[in-house]
A and B are shown apart, each in its own frame.
Chain A
Amino acid sequence: MRMPDEHLENELRHALRLEAPPPGFAERVFERVARERTRSAERGWKNWRRFFATPALRWVAAGALCLVAVGAYEVREREQRLAGEEAKRKVMLALRITSAKMQHAENRAVNGRDE
Chain B
Amino acid sequence: MADTLRAEALVACSMDFEELVREHQAMVFSLAYHFLQDRATAEEVAQDVFVQLHSRLGRLESPEHVKFWLRRTISHRSIDYLRRRKLRAETALEDAPEPVTPVAAGDPMLSRRLRQLVASLPERARMIVVLRYQEDMELAEIAKTMAIPVNTVRSHLHRSLALLREKVQRTLGSGIVAQGTK
Q: Assess whether B1 is in contact with A75, with CB atoms less than 8 Å apart.
A: yes
B98 within 8 A of A: no
A59-115: which residues lie under 8 A (CB-CB) from chain B?
71-72, 74-75, 78, 81, 89, 92-93, 96-97, 100, 115
Any A CB within 8 A of the CB of B142: no
On whether the beta carbons of A29 and B168 are closer than 8 Å, the reply is no
Tell me whether A19 and B33 are in contact (CB under 8 A): yes
Contact-size category for B: 35 or more
Say yes or no: is A26 at the interface (Cβ < 8 Å to chain B). yes
Q: Chain B binding site: helix, strand, loop or mixed by DSSP?
A: helix
Bound CA span A104–B21, Å: 39
Chain B residues contacting A9 (CB-CB under 8 Å) are: 133, 161
Q: Within the complex, what minimum Cβ distance (angstroms) separates B153 from chain A?
A: 12
Structural contact, B180 and A10, CB atoms closer than 8 A:
yes
| Given A5-B161, A26-B18; A21-B178 close (CB under 8 Å) | no
The answer to whether A21 and B118 have CB atoms under 8 Å apart is no
In the complex, the answer to whether A7 meets B47 with C-beta atoms within 8 Å is: no
| Known contacts A25-B29, A32-B47, A33-B54; is-contact A3 B114 (Cβ 8 Å) | no
CB-CB under 8 A from B141, the residues of chain A are none
B124 (CB) vs chain A CBs: closest residue:
A100
**Known A16-B134, A29-B50, A32-B47; contact A4-B26, beta-carbon cutoff 8 A:** no
A15-B179 in contact given A26-B21, A29-B47 (Cβ < 8 Å): no
Chain A minimum-CB-distance residue to B169: A3
Q: How big is chain A's contact interface, by range?
A: 35 or more
**Structural contact, A7 and B114, CB atoms closer than 8 A:** no
Flag if B149 contacts A11 (CB, 8 Å). no
Instruction: List B contacts of A92 (CB < 8 A).
Output: 147
Bound CA–CA A71/B2 (angstroms): 7
B138-182 residues with Cβ-Cβ distance < 8 A to A are: 147-149, 152, 161, 164-165, 168-169, 172, 174, 177-181
On B, residues with C-beta under 8 Å from A are 1-2, 4-5, 8, 17-18, 21-22, 25-27, 29-30, 33-34, 39, 43, 46-47, 50-51, 54, 59, 105, 110-112, 114-115, 118, 122, 129-130, 133-134, 136, 147-149, 152, 161, 164-165, 168-169, 172, 174, 177-181
Given contacts A5-B165, A6-B180, A15-B111, 12 further A-B contacts (CB under 8 A): A4-B180, A7-B179, A14-B111, A18-B134, A20-B29, A22-B39, A29-B25, A29-B50, A30-B21, A75-B1, A75-B4, A115-B122
Q: List 7 A-B contacts (CB under 8 A).
A: A2-B169, A7-B105, A11-B114, A15-B111, A18-B27, A25-B25, A33-B54
